[in-house]
Amino acid sequence: MATIENHGPRISDNDIAKLEERLGAVLPEDYRRFLLEFNGGSPRPDTVNIEGLPGAYADVQTFFGIGRTIESSNLDWNLATLTERLEAGMLPIAVDSGGNVFCLAIQGHRRGSVLYCDLESVFGNLAATPQLFEVAPNFDAFISQLRTFP
């Protein structure tokens, strides 16, 4: 079981409701619970297998949170920065050490699933859509898949 270090500041249901209003979508319950308990942070262990990705593994450096003071850890900052690069209905929730992001599908047929967005696959081409790799069917399953790098 993963532990989360460097938690963000405590948030409330009201903070999440405001985020959901901005997104125009309701967050999956498992991710909502994670935000209320930890509001982002760094998992230990931190590595997840990604089927189809060259190298097959990625680390989760930081989960984003609401109202985090460091921009790169702030959910809203990452959403604003990455919106044009991501498919509609994808919420960036974490970053790996290479700057690629993990996204939570908040709309559509993949709603609730966690996907790895390989931003390196389109490096230098801002018009291209990055490759997505499904990592887990839901956020709880994603957390349970975290392992120590082999």
User: What tokens does 32 get?
Assistant: 């909502």
Q: What is the pLDDT of residues 94-145, one digit of tens each?
A: 999 999 999 999 999 999 999 999 887 666 555 567 889 999 999 999 999 9
Q: Give the model's pLDDT for residue 84.
A: 83
Q: What is the pLDDT of residue 147?
A: 95
Q: Residue 130: is the preceding peptide bond cis (ω within 30°)?
A: no
Q: Which residues make Cβ contacts (< 8 Å) with residue 123, sequence separation at least 6?
A: none
pLDDT at 83: 84
Higher pLDDT, 1 or 109: 109
pLDDT in tens, 19-63: 999 999 999 999 999 999 999 999 999 999 998 877 789 999 999
CA proximity to 90, closest of 101, 105, 72, 100: 105
State in words which class domain 3-145 has: alpha beta
CA angle 30, 64, 128 (to 5 degrees): 100
**Alpha carbons within 13 A on the beta-carbon side of 148:** 0
Per-residue confidence (pLDDT) for residue 126, from 0 to 100: 58
Domain extents for the chain? Answer: 3-145
Distance CA 131, CA 60 (A): 18
42 φ, ψ to 5°? Answer: -110, 125
pLDDT digits (tens, 9 = 90+) for 58-105: 999 999 999 999 999 999 999 999 988 888 999 999 999 999 999 999
